[in-house]
Chain A
Amino acid sequence: GESVGLHLPTLSVQEGDNSIINCAYSNSASDYFIWYKQESGKGPQFIIDIRSNMDKRQGQRVTVLLNKTVKHLSLQIAATQPGDSAVYFCAEVKYYGQNFVFGPGTRLSVLP
């Protein structure tokens, strides 16, 4: 069953296109920023992280961009696939206490 409700921002993309999911964060003192993916009925799963002293980091088919000037984080997914359909959360964390503070999430729907 669905684990989040009806008021999430939603992004719909065609299969094979690139997706860009955005997130605004609040704490300038956060040391790391992280993206998680949550499929329906499952717990969140780590995708990629970026340190606060970096602007860009690439993984397999994903790129995270950090703009500290405007406190903005984005996740780019290349060649989006049906299996990418999920809710994506950004999170910020400080080393001390390792408390992850999550954003409200964005639902990505991949259209055939």
Chain B
Amino acid sequence: NAGVTQTPKFRVLKTGQSMTLLCAQDMNHEYMYWYRQDPGMGLRLIHYSVGEGTTAKGEVPDGYNVSRLKKQNFLLGLESAAPSQTSVYFCASSYGNQNTEAFFGQGTRLTVV
């Protein structure tokens, strides 16, 4: 049982380049989330999804887009990377429906130079 898998684990981008981070979960969870983690700031919600085909903005959505075409996958896109997007990105999923336990992936360390 793989849980939540993020791809890639590490990436270096040049300013202005684009990329997509992939999150896959095999637990049949309805809810999926993308967070970024920066020093001293904990985890901040970028976008989330409460089911296949739905997405919503979180606390820090600017510069990011997401898609949930399949229930098990949640993609995070950076259209034009900026140095301010250097961070560690975590995907998470949960059953929703009053279940509070979220399962996190191992993280993607992204550096924009």
Q: Please report the C-alpha to C-alpha distance between residue A98 and residue B49 in the assembled complex, in whole angstroms.
A: 10
Would you call B73 an interface residue if the criterion is a C-beta within 8 Å of the partner chain's C-beta atoms? no
A102 close to chain B: CB less than 8 A: yes
A1-29 interface code vs B (CB 8 A; 1 in, 0 out) = 10111111000000000000000000000
**1/0 contact trace for A69-96 toward B, CB 8 Å?**
0000000000000000000010001010
> B45 and A100: CB pair below 8 A?
yes
Given contacts A3-B107, A8-B40, A100-B102, contact A44 B58 (CB under 8 A): no
**B102 touching A104, Cβ below 8 Å:** no
B106 at the binding interface (Cβ < 8 Å): yes
Kindly identify which residue among A42, A43, A104 contacts B42, using a CB–CB cutoff of 8 Å. Answer: A104
Contact of B39 among A7, A46, A97 (CB under 8 A): A7
Q: Does B74 contact A (CB under 8 A)?
A: no
What is B's interface to A at a CB cutoff of 8 Å?
A: 4, 31, 33, 35, 37-45, 48, 50, 56, 58, 88, 90, 92, 94, 96, 98, 100-107, 109
24 A-B contacts, Cβ less than 8 Å apart?
Answer: A1-B109, A4-B40, A5-B40, A6-B39, A6-B40, A7-B39, A32-B100, A41-B107, A43-B4, A43-B106, A44-B104, A46-B102, A46-B103, A97-B48, A98-B96, A98-B100, A99-B58, A100-B33, A100-B43, A100-B45, A100-B92, A103-B42, A104-B41, A105-B42
